[in-house]
């Protein structure tokens, strides 16, 4: 059998803390969601003044990135290229930029989704948190 790495709650806390620091550095009120490789919620937080809807959107972006093993922006781009039939894919994907997979040794161990500011800024926060986490790996 193959063994695999997985995201722990301690890992999620580290990633969330880095994401929060990046958001606060820019005064961005966001929600941060972290999911495991199956898209199941491990962490969810809403910073003060973040829109209530941002929690569901962040979780959806994270789930989409984890299940697709790629940034959620890839799906947004498919729809933006007028491939509207893609909107009918099953699974309730959230096709907005701001979900980033967490890749460790070429394997997806989960994903981060952020929502509350411009989509590219959401993605910036998610990538920062993941980068800080990956930088700490042995």
- Closest by CA to 28, choosing from 96, 128, 105, is 128
What DSSP state is assigned to residue 85? G
On whether residue 66 sits in a domain, the answer given is yes
Do residues 16 and 34 make contact, with C-beta atoms less than 8 angstroms apart?
yes
User: Which pLDDT score, from 0 to 100, does residue 76 have?
Assistant: 93
On whether residue 3 sits in a domain, the answer given is no
CATH of the domain at 75: 3.30.450.150
User: Which pLDDT score, from 0 to 100, does residue 135 have?
Assistant: 87
Q: How many domains does the chain have?
A: 1
pLDDT average per 10 residues of sequence, the chain (138 residues): 93 98 98 98 98 98 97 94 89 94 96 98 98 87
User: Which pLDDT score, from 0 to 100, does residue 86 have?
Assistant: 86
42: three-class secondary structure by DSSP: strand
Q: In which domain, by residue range, is 57 found?
A: 9-135
Q: How many CA atoms lie within 13 A of 36 on its CB side?
A: 11
On whether residue 111 sits in a domain, the answer given is yes
Residues 6+ apart with CB under 8 A from 115: 30, 31, 50, 51, 53, 54, 55, 57, 58, 61, 96, 98, 122
Which pTM value belongs to this model? 0.96
């Amino acid at each position: 059998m193959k063994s695999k790495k997985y995201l722990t709650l301690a890992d999620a806390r580290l990633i969330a803390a880095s994401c929060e620091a990046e958001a606060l550095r820019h005064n961005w009120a966001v929600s941060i969601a972290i999911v495991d490789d199956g898209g199941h919620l491990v962490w969810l937080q809403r910073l003060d003044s973040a829109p209530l809807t941002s929690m569901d959107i962040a979780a959806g972006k994270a789930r989409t990135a984890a299940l697709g093993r790629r940034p959620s922006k890839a799906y947004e781009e498919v729809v933006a290229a007028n491939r509207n039939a893609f909107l009918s894919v099953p699974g309730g994907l959230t096709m907005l930029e701001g979900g980033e997979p967490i890749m460790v040794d070429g394997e997806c161990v989960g994903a981060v989704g952020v929502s509350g500011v411009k989509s590219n800024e959401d993605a910036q926060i998610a990538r920062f948190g993941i980068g800080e986490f990956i930088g700490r790996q042995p």
